[in-house]
Amino acid sequence: MRKAFPVALLITFAALTLWAADVSKVLDAATAVVQNMTSTHQVPPSVLENAKCIAVIPKLTKAGFIIGGKHGNGVVSYRTGDSWSAPAFIALTGGSVGLQAGGEHQDIILLMNDQGKQELSNGHWELGAEAVAAGPTGQSAGTEENTGWKAPVLSYTQSSGAFAGADLGGSKISVDNDMIHNLYGSKTTLLSILNGETPATSSAQPFLDAVQAAVK
């Protein structure tokens, strides 16, 4: 039985990665997530206005039977003055063991304060229970005080499918250098993008426009 667990885990993650990461697909999907989740005020403009960093993971896939896992490709942008940096690319992965069955796609927006932004700058970060809090909604969710923004990250999700829950505990964010290099060139780094040293490409501009429009 013990040998069956690693095999099942490999099968699960093979299924999760069938959706090949494509730069244009990830950018288009992330743009749609921002537009959908902000137009309905699921993510209040006042909270986004106070965020130092935004990460969007469209189509995070959760699947499993006994052994579960999740995988998603997404983008991240830092606030640079009154605007936002060109989007860099990240991956979110994780796994869990327990009584579970089914599959689910989740669209996720993560908003980070200064601490969360600094953690992500290190290039690899595990999302523990103390790191992520459910993001507030409503007109009163304007400042760090009334958001309760003590956790580095506020999370917002939209889910579909039979797999219940939106738990990100145990997930890890890592840099997707392959996608970064595909869009910006082989010498480009995560920090050169997020610090505003790398200009946004035309394919990335709709995402930035969606984020900027959501704050207004």
Summarised one tens digit per residue, pLDDT across range 176-196 is: 999 999 999 999 999 999 999
Residue with tokens 């580095």: 152
Calculate what percentage of the chain has a pLDDT beyond 90: 37
* Structure-token pair, residue 36: 């959908």
How many domains are contained in the chain?
A: 1
User: Residue 19: its pLDDT value, please?
Assistant: 40
DSSP-derived letter for residue 193 is H
Average pLDDT over every residue of 5-12: 41
37 closest CA partner among 63, 16, 57: 57
Containing structural domain, residue 33: 4-215
pTM: 0.80
Greatest alpha-carbon span in the chain: 56
Q: Is a pLDDT exceeding 60 seen at residue 23?
A: yes
Helix (H) or strand (E) holding 95: strand 88-112
